[in-house]
Structure 1
Amino acid sequence: MNRRLLLTATAGLLAPLVAPLVAPRLASAQGNLDRAAIARVEAYLNGLRTLRARFLQVAQNGASAQGTALISRPGRMRFDYDPPEPLLLVASGGQVLMYDRELRQPTAVPASSTPLGMLLRPEIRLAGDITVTATERSGGFLRVSLHRTGARAEGLLTLALAEQPMELRQWTVLDAQGRETRVTLYEVQTGMTLENRLFDFNDPRFLEGEARR
Structure 2
Amino acid sequence: MDKTRRTLLAAPLALALLPGAAFAQQLSLGEISNYLNRLQTATGGFTQINDDGTISTGTIYIKRPGRVRFEYDPPEQSLVVAGGGAVAVFDGRSNVNPERYPLNQTPLSIILDDNVDFTRANMVTGHTSDGTTTTVTAQDPEHPDYGSIQMVFSSNPAELRQWIITDNAGAQTTVILNNLQSGTSVGDVLFNIRRETANWN
TM bracket (short chain): 0.7 to 0.9
Normalised TM-score (structure 1):
0.79
1:113 to 93, 100, 105: 105
Please name the residue that 2:173 is paired with.
Answer: 181
**Counterparts of 1:195 and 1:111, CA distance in 2:** 20
Whichever residue aligns with residue 124 of structure 1, its letter is V
Identical aligned residues as a percent: 30
Cα distance change, pair 71–130 in 1 and its aligned pair in 2 (3 A): farther
Equivalent runs, 1:22-33 vs 2, <5 Å: none
Counterpart pick for 1:66 among 57, 72, 89: 57
Runs of at least 5 residues in structure 1 that lack an aligned partner in the other structure: 15-33
Q: Which residue of 1 aligns with 2:198?
A: 208
Contact 2:89 2:99 in 1 (8 A): yes
Aligned residue in 1 for 2:17 = none
Q: Is 1:49 matched up with 2:49?
A: no
Q: Residues of 2 paired with 1:190 and 1:109: CA distance? A: 27
**What secondary structure does 1:182 align onto?**
strand
Q: Structure 1 residue 150: deviation in Å?
A: 3.3
Equivalent pair of 1:56/1:65 in contact (CA under 8 Å): yes
Task: Within 5 Å, give how 1:143-158 maps onto structure 2.
Answer: 143-158=135-150
Secondary structure of the residue aligned to 2:108 is helix
Distance 2:85 2:122 in 1: 18
Distance 2:192 2:122 in 1: 27
Kindly report the root-mean-square deviation, in angstroms, between the aligned alpha carbons of the 2 structures. Answer: 2.3
Report the Cα distance in structure 2 between the residues aligned to 1:201 and 1:60, rounded to whole angstroms.
26
CA drift at 1:35: 9.6
Measured at CA, do residues 36 and 198 of structure 1 come closer, stay the same or move farther in structure 2, by a change above 3 Å? closer
Q: Quote the residue 1:17 is aligned against.
A: none
Q: Across the two proteins, how many residue pairs are aligned to each other?
A: 187
Matches within 5 A, 1:189-208: 189-202=181-194, 205-208=195-198
- Any conservation in 2 of the 1:6–1:65 contact (CA below 8 Å)? no
Misfit runs of 4+, over 3 Å: 4-8, 11-14, 101-104, 127-130
Matched residue of 1:10: which SS? helix
Distance 1:201 1:190, change over 3 A: same
CA distance in 1, matches of 2:5, 2:107: 17
- Residue by residue over 1:2-52, the C-alpha shift from the partner in whole angstroms, topping out at 9 and shown as x without a partner, is xx96554224349xxxxxxxxxxxxxxxxxxx9961111000000001110
Alignment partner, residue 30 of structure 2? 39
RCO greater where, 1 or 2, for CA within 8 Å and sep 6 or more?
A: 2
Unaligned runs of 5+ in 2: 13-24
Are the structure 2 counterparts of residues 112 and 8 from structure 1 closer, same or farther at C-alpha, using a change threshold of 3 Å? closer
Which residue in the other structure is 2:162 paired with? 170
Contact 1:13 1:115 in 2 (8 A): no
Normalised to the residue count of structure 2, the TM-score between the two structures is 0.84
Higher helix share: 1
